[in-house]
A = this chain, B = another copy of it.
């Protein structure tokens, strides 16, 4: 039992918890899913290209074959989001995760650039994984048999001293980064951190930073400007070091967006060469819909302000409840954007807390999921995904989470 709680309080908490269990809640808060009100913001996308004439743009017919790298207008739109030029962008399908998977699969089987040795033929390959981080990134490493090297996340990004030390090992081939509103901590990399990433001098010539800019325009308050990693890397003389990814999954529709990859000229050439074997083209009609609906970067920003207006009350409700209930017992982030709040409960109680939530009908992201191989060394991190439930349900779930966190803490 933790300090400051007496037996009567604990009995009270247990009663509250059992009552909650009896209410038959079924809430899924396990993933960062936009709310139904957010999806409605993009209704105009659905019929943004509604007749045959609208399918032809700049002499290109989006309905037909061709334009393997994507429609020029859509490459410009996604390039603007990633702060790169259209010719530095190749578009993908719905999911940027798919582009990351393809990049890793290609690195394993064919190497990161044409003529470079495939990772799969170089023995054990290692990847730097700032943690806590995104479970799907770690899952990709696991799938391809990469050894994961966790490094701590700081307030301004990954511990770059630790990273700089690790890249001296030629078996270290890459690093995951979610540079803005990092999943799950909400961290924004400082200019200094971006410059240090861009200035890395890895022992492996085929080392690549996988820069998953998933929340590039997902500000909740004022616009936060990330330093351009592409420019910083070029300035440092490392044009091939960083590969950027983004998608419109959380701008328009998770189930019907478009994605993009950007990289240095040689890496991009390798992607392009592989793409010829890989597909005929991606969905150019959906690319065109996105251009017609979002128009340009200003259009994207205006659209994201509408998302922010719906999301701010949810993030603030979580913070308020955590402040009221868990101050002194736990710590959490108060991100200025993105999709997650990262909660650190009493060490050794994250798994138990999530388990108690599940028993009461609320599915949280699995405890440990934010760490490589699902192993949170202190068993303390819980990812809160507040976007999907309506505010009232979210408050119910958060109240319950605080009860569970306290009950779990009382057990240790």
Contact = CB atoms under 8 A, between A and B. Distances in A.
A11 interface: no
A140 B110 CA distance: 13
A2 interface: no
B279 A256 contact: no
A34 B64 contact: yes
A279 B105 CA distance: 13
Interface in A49-73: 49-52, 54-55, 61-67
A123 interface: no
A256 B286 contact: yes
Interface stretch (A89-97, A322-330, A358-366): A89-97
Contact of A283 (B65, B144, B255, B278): B255
Number of copies: 2
Nearest 10 interchain pairs by C-beta = A256-B285, A255-B284, A98-B279, A63-B253, A143-B277, A95-B279, A47-B50, A93-B93, A65-B254, A95-B280
A50 B61 contact: no
Contacts of A40: 52
Interface of A: 31, 33-34, 36, 39-40, 42-43, 46-47, 49-52, 54-55, 61-67, 93-95, 97-98, 101, 105, 108-110, 120, 136, 139-140, 143-144, 249, 253-256, 274, 276-286
Nearest to A284: B255
Given A93-B282, A140-B277, 13 more contacts: A33-B65, A42-B63, A43-B51, A43-B52, A94-B279, A97-B278, A101-B277, A110-B143, A139-B277, A143-B274, A253-B285, A255-B281, A255-B283
Contacts of A278: 97-98, 101
19 contacts: A39-B63, A42-B63, A46-B54, A46-B55, A47-B47, A63-B253, A64-B254, A65-B254, A65-B255, A93-B279, A94-B280, A94-B282, A94-B283, A95-B281, A97-B278, A101-B279, A110-B143, A256-B285, A283-B283
Contacts of A67: 255
Given A50-B46, A101-B277, A285 B255 contact: yes
A246 to B, nearest CB: 14
A276 B135 CA distance: 12
Contacts of A144: 109
A253 B64 contact: yes
Contacts of A274: 143
Among A39, A47, A285, which residue has the most Cβ atoms of chain B within 10 A?
A285
A134 B353 CA distance: 56
A140 B281 CA distance: 15
A61 B255 contact: yes
A138 B199 CA distance: 42
Contacts of A95: 279-282
B97 A280 contact: yes
Contact of A64 (B39, B62, B279, B283): B39
A280 B256 contact: no
